[in-house]
Structure 1
Amino acid sequence: MRRKDRIQPGQLANLLLCTFLLGGLLAACSGKTETGSSGNANPAGSSTSGGKPQSGDFDEPYKLTIMLDNFTAENPPAESDAMTFLRETTKTDIDITWVPRTSYTEKLNATIASNTMPKVVVSLDIKTPAIINAIRSGVFWEIGPYLEDYPRLAAMSPVLKNNVLVDGKLYAIPRHLDLASNGFVYRSDWVKDLGMQPPATLEDVYELAKAMVHNDPDGNGKPDTYGLIEHNDPEGFDQVVLLLGGPYKWLVENDAFVPYFETPEYREALDFYKRLYDEKLVNQDFAAINKEQRSELIENGKGGMMFAYAYQITERLPIIRKTVPDADMEMGNLAGPKGERLMPSLGYTGLYLIPKSSVKTEAELKRVLQFFEDLADPRVQTFMQWGLEDVHYKMENGKPVKIDEARYQTEINILRRLKPHTMSEAPDGVNSPDVDKVLTYFKEKEDKVVGDPSLAYISDTYAERGTELTKIIEDARIKYIMGMIDENGWNDAVAEWHKKGGDKIVQEYSDQLK
């Protein structure tokens, strides 16, 4: 079973330290809390009501250290109008340590092992071996029993909550991501200029990819465009499996779990991607680039389609329009033999965990939870979407318009990494047309999502060997698509997966199901 942001096998040794740190962590839980100095209250007109005030034992602003992942080349400024607003509105002296997303999981694992943690850390996945082991070792606070005092944080969908539980308990605050957030994004202006119709099937995607490669969709007279753009963890692959009628991650059949890579639909998906690769309809360097580089190719007009998070429209389209003012993008409505089926998100794009070694008392835990409750205030969420009025955006004809795109990206877009699982999208309830397009998609497609049946369970074997086993299948998938192995090579990889622990994972999930 594949999950994102897994640790590498060489890092697993560090995780063993967590067990030996447990005694020290439990002893530290009786220490005194850290407080900040007195400061300003909320700015005039602000409101962060909701939840019971938990700051009585702490001077304001409360000093809060956070480690967050950064997907941009540079860190945002520590001091800005945006940071001032956030600090004053939450009565919190926020000190953020930014870590490049590409190395974030490795840094987090090392931080856990060294027991030198800030008061809040983000984990990109709650079910990695490192995080499961740390939770079971008592490294992080269980927050579920406290959420009744924080109504915004407690307003978590049952599906999302199920996805983030560990051993039936809640330890983390999810960072917002719509369940129906994945889909198919394409340059609708290219489709129109090519005289074609919006794609409705995988065969349409293939034909459109051919046209985008051979028929000069950007009109520059050069054969310099691809159809589909992918990256080293092909984001569309699981979506293609679903469209072909297959399961998502696991098939439950006859009271037993079957890995989805052993289904006929998975093999069809392999052949579909190999067809695109052999005919040079997908970027030939996909195995060597990451997700952000994939998106940059779209921004630079090098490709016209990608399977991606729907908000790629709102994030990439403004950049494309700097050079192509009439550019447009749409979400596809692809269907297969079983109709329209969408790959789900986990409902989160990272989770906030609170270490006991740095937040040592229940009173301080409640103060940290109040910070996230305040972040979930609609006014703060609006700020995270658009920034400050007359600084980052202005209202024109009832619509928000960004004043300085570069400043917005530097000061505001990166702060969206702080979003909890509730979200408000626009000032005064007014969205830009592109945001409306995406939000409509989320609402309309939620019932098309196909879930991962394994998320309700935890396999101890997967926790121990998941990284190694996942890599076997993912490496073989890339090699098959690129023609480096044939069907026999693929079958050998599947057999290796079973031999090295896959059979135990299947058994553990199946036993829990029964």
Structure 2
Amino acid sequence: MSHRYLHRTVNRRTLLSGATALAAGSLLAACGDGDGGANDNSATANKSVKLPAYVPSTAVKPDLPGNANGLLNAFLAYPSPPPKQFTGPPLSGGTVSAFVLTGSPVPPPKGNNPFWQALDRELGVDLQLTITPSAEMATKFSTLITGDDLPDLIVPALFLPNGVPAGIGNLPQWMAAKCTDLTSYLGGDAVNDYPNLANIPTGAWRQCVYNGGIYGVPVHRGVAGTLMFRRDDIVAKLGVDPDPQSFAEFRDFCVKVTDAKANRWAIVNAGGLMHMVQQMVGAPNGWRWDGSKLTNVVETEEFRKALSDVVELYKAGVVHPDSFANNAPVKRWFNAGEAVLTADRYTAWPQFYAENIAGPEFKISGMRPPKYDGGGFAPTWQSNAGSINNFTVFKKADEGRIRDLLKLCNYLAAPFGTAEWLFRRYGHEGTHYDMENGGPVLTQAGASQTVLGVRYIVDAPDTIFIPGRPEATQLSYDYQKSIIDTSVPDPVVANGLFSDEWSRKQPTLGQLVLNGQNDIIAGRQQLSHLDEVIGNWRSQGGDKVRAEFTEQLQKSGIR
């Protein structure tokens, strides 16, 4: 995953980073001695866990089917009428509390929020949510741990690009002490008691395994990861070949579409170039394991080569001149046509269309990275979060309580295409959304009331769907279909490894690399400065992380 995307993640999605991460880490250390080896979370212990059986839902049939390699199902329009899964509420009274996050403005409280009230009626429970903006999660989570007054459901962390919970120390020990091992409820065929949870692909559950057990329910995302979005409407007007076949042709593309007088540049920032060029040169996705040695991408010659080329592209003036500004509005630049390319998650596809200001001619697709010297396309990098966005743990409770919580989660995981999914995401038609060209469009009331954060408790398997734009859905599906079979995972994530040092230090180490990379690209440092960056990365935790991961790889016999 690109360090540009890492930078966005640290600012927008990371729950615990910097000083507050260390504070949370010290709080969690109360569950143990702080030694990463004390966490009973080795690859060997977790390998034997019986994951939930995967039983795909047949509630709706996709217009464009996915596959077992990670290609997502796609829908050209929302099913009409949508099938209804539940004949009544999953619960019959009482209260459920949950600690969740939101990346949107905090919605109105329940007393002033008709959607929240309607959700309570659908669930059959008084749902008490602590809804916290992403930027405040570090402080709020630390306070939650300190008080030890835990809600029923807790989102302990979002995953960083390298597939680890953000900045939390001794996470396995904390979960063992305070949270419920769900293996007996969900492992193997036991999950069939909750069909919508059984509908979640196996890969997502692997990221919920700690201490030799299943310690959470996942929020599934596809493995397609970050791609290079391209403004096809602009490229067509300029008459430029949209699919370069080598780095040289890609460089020519960037130069040709850039016109500073027209307020248009090739790309929103240099981090996107790093993401693209690293794939062209064959850099590893996060880590490289050769059977005996583990190497981080920043230590490789491929990273150095990509950085050198991006320095030259930046000098050529193809990057938006304000790209190094804090919180640069890169999505707005892309939608406004100030840049032709931007690197972002595949999940941004519908967002770009929702925020489109170019009118009906607006058209985007994905640019595949060519091999550096030509000869076909380079493999893309799979999502380093291991096909999930986050997971949710359950506070320790008796069996009856846990089963009630699982029934609630089973409702919240109703698959795309059902009446329950549509209500949970969009509310009531005519009040919270309107149907336009086969897709729901939120009203102002819907946009403010529905962002309760319940989608971060658990979610249905992700799908490809761009409301009201079937042709865009087809393009998104076609792009994923072209890259999934050859995409490469991070071996650390793919093998379910956990390093306490990595969990604590990854935000800091990632920022260290990002700062050094940006200094070199912007011309504040020479390329030789990379040696100092690598040295600092190793001494400030990288070598310890490597040792923890390597020990697990060797003990597991992974080649």
Equivalent residue for 1:119, pick from 147, 152, 156: 152
Equivalent residue for 1:335, pick from 370, 377, 383: 370
Equivalent residue for 1:170, pick from 214, 239, 255: 214
The corresponding residue for 1:283 is: 320
Residue 509 of structure 2 aligns with an amino acid whose one-letter code is L
Which range moved further: 336-345 or 478-487?
Answer: 336-345
Residue 492 of structure 2 aligns with an amino acid whose one-letter code is S
Equivalent residue for 2:447, pick from 387, 403, 409: 409
> Aligned-pair distance for 1:257?
0.5
In structure 1, list runs of 5 or more residues that go unmatched: 23-44, 216-221
The corresponding residue for 1:441 is: 479
Are residue 305 (structure 1) and residue 352 (structure 2) matched? Answer: no
* Matches of 1:436 and 1:49, distance apart in 2: 33
Are residue 351 (structure 1) and residue 386 (structure 2) matched? Answer: no
* Matches of 1:385 and 1:203, distance apart in 2: 44
Are residue 210 (structure 1) and residue 255 (structure 2) matched? Answer: yes
Residue 240 of structure 1 aligns to a residue whose secondary structure is helix
The corresponding residue for 1:197 is: 241
Residue 548 of structure 2 aligns with an amino acid whose one-letter code is E
TM-score where L is the length of structure 1: 0.80
CA displacement 1:460-500 (0-9 Å, x = unmatched): 43345444433332221121121222133210121122233
Equivalent residue for 2:428, pick from 374, 377, 388: 388
Residue 83 of structure 1 aligns with an amino acid whose one-letter code is W
Within-5 A mapping of 1:116-155? 116-122=149-155, 123-125=157-159, 127-128=164-165, 131=168, 133-137=170-174, 138-147=177-186, 148=191, 149-155=193-199
TM-score where L is the length of structure 2: 0.74
* Matches of 1:426 and 1:383, distance apart in 2: 16
> Aligned-pair distance for 1:251?
1.0
> Aligned-pair distance for 1:227?
1.9
Residue 367 of structure 1 aligns to a residue whose secondary structure is helix
Residue 150 of structure 1 aligns with an amino acid whose one-letter code is Y
* Matches of 2:206 and 2:272, distance apart in 1: 23
Q: Percent identity?
A: 19
Q: For residues 511 and 351 of structure 1, do their structure 2 counterparts lie closer, same or farther at Cα, with a shift above 3 Å needed?
A: same
Equivalent residue for 1:69, pick from 84, 101, 106: 101
CA displacement 1:306-362 (0-9 Å, x = unmatched): 1111232211223224x5332111122332157332222221222222233xxx333
Residue 137 of structure 2 aligns with an amino acid whose one-letter code is Y
Q: For residues 460 and 121 of structure 1, do their structure 2 counterparts lie closer, same or farther at Cα, with a shift above 3 Å needed?
A: closer
Is 2:21–2:504's contact at 8 Å kept on the other side of the alignment? no
Are residue 109 (structure 1) and residue 115 (structure 2) matched? Answer: no
In structure 2, list runs of 5 or more residues that go unmatched: 33-82, 555-559
> Aligned-pair distance for 1:152?
2.1
* Matches of 1:267 and 1:210, distance apart in 2: 22
Is 2:502–2:545's contact at 8 Å kept on the other side of the alignment? yes
Is 2:158–2:166's contact at 8 Å kept on the other side of the alignment? no
* Matches of 1:98 and 1:436, distance apart in 2: 35
> Aligned-pair distance for 1:245?
1.1
> Aligned-pair distance for 1:433?
3.3
Residue 453 of structure 1 aligns with an amino acid whose one-letter code is P
